[in-house]
Structure 1
Amino acid sequence: MAEKDWIRRYFAPLVRSAGAAGLTDDTAELSPANGPVVITTDAMVEGVHFFPDDPVETIARKLVRVNVSDILASGAEPREALLTLGWPAEGRSEAELAAFAAALGDELSQWGADLIGGDTVVSPSGLFLSLTLTGACLGPAPICRGGASAGDDVWVTGEIGAARRGYLWKTTGQGEAGWLAALRLPSLPPLSAAALLAREASAAMDISDGLLGDLAALAAASGLAAMIELSAVPFAGGAESLDQAVDLASWGDDYQLLFTAPPAARLAIEASGIPASRIGSLVKGQGLAARWQDAPVNLPETLAFEHGRHA
């Protein structure tokens, strides 16, 4: 099937925005905004960010979610999406393409986003895909990594380490098969988390490369040091030891939200209905210090996950 036929048959039916012109043009008109607009993009490559035998439906949904998490962390709601799709010349059927498109459209719709364009090509080896997503800020400005102050609390939404447990089961058989779903399709906080961050957060980012490394990056962007109590982190399945806690907090693919807020915001955050745990604080200085059950610990030199092959 020709690439223009992919668009006409599988992706044009997903379009709802008038500015997209049914994907018949090379450009699209963005919807008017009442305030600041943020934009993000993430790419995924077969054998690097997902396994070749992962269902195409979960690949499509994960592509959306890894972008949505960035938008939510900015205190914004998803709006419009551009898809770049490199579909393999061999090895994947048209039925899989149809399933991919259906899952992509459904996932975008669940977050209130519209597909407005992109590009499709034939890939000589493996599936390649990228999504660019815009978001409408719910406050006067986006929430950034560098806005925290000394004394701010550190919070994290949801649970940390589920994807790591899924990866260990997939590659070594360690643990339980049920964790594989978390690796293929990360859980995100609800859309209402964007409003909470817009009201209360001083700094924020999503957790893609590991809680420890991302917290160190947020603290550095704010010109501060971070203190984390690892035993307060909501680890998926719990953490039986310090070594396990550090492993789960270093691996990545969580896509939960890491944010800071002044202590005066604690009651509002706890009453918001958003699952969030207070795990530390920011202080004057540089670097990252950690404790486990109230005792200081030595952290490894490598705090963040570097994407290797999933094949």
Structure 2
Amino acid sequence: MSIQWFPGHMHKARLEMQATLPKVDVVIEILDARIPYSSENPLLAELRGDKPCLKVLAKSDLADDAMTATWQAYFEQTVGVRSHAVTTDDVPTIRRLKPIATQMVPHRSGRTVTAMIMGIPNVGKSTIINYLAGRKIAKTGNTPAVTKQQQRVSIGDGVTLLDTPGMLWPNVLNPNSGYRLALLGTIKETAMEYADIGFFAARYMLAEYPDLLTERYDLDSKPTTELEAIEAIGRKRGCLGKNNLVDIDRASRILVTEFRSGAFGRLTLETPKIMAREKTQTAVLAAEKAEKDAAKDAKRKKRFRDQQRAKRKARERR
């Protein structure tokens, strides 16, 4: 599955970020603790450059504690980067973001610190802003792309936040990242098929947590394939249609919805090792895509030149 979803307001947001970043002291990037790699927008890293960055692992109450600590240690290997895990059930952990951010720019001591808060859609950015400010400032919602434009928010203690729209990159080339983003609700439902995501979730659960899957749906035995898993879930939950056949879409929706809600417990879907492997694979895919695009462009130019040559010859024969 290749996901391409880049609404107009996201392109505008990128241009606005680019223009504003020179005036920013520190960047606060919100990541989903369950998918720290897949929720890290490569465009944001490119735009941020070497500015100090506080990587916030949100929704950490849904992620594996030990793996969250592993990711924090990994991120802090980079100079100028700190990491902090938060959950909306623990407001003090969110409010500690303010002193951490100001400590990262000691040269601004005694002066207002401007922090740009950024992240992909639906990672809880607006909720975090509201807790930091102590009042409802940013719109919140369970669907992606709630924030449409930049807004400046004073959150006290000499800190001003620049809130930016959640921004995906134009093409999620890594298929596994695409599935993970869709599974956790980062991508609008119109950009995906529930059956595709359900099969990915079933495949993951069978490989990593088969017992949780069988226990959750009271299955008689462990399914051997993702199709068997989806069909078993559908039969247990009454997702039956004509001729007593399982409605794959309905069964997939049940699995995806319950996965998002944390019904299976605290799970992290990727590790730094998985990230390293998939980055290598994605680089190969990117090179292949660039080669195909170059070949396609060369054919287009050749076709244009041939058409122009044919027109010249036709004029000469007149």
**TM-score bracket for this pair, using the shorter chain length:** under 0.3
Greater helix share, 1 or 2? 2
What is the TM-score normalised by the length of structure 2?
0.24
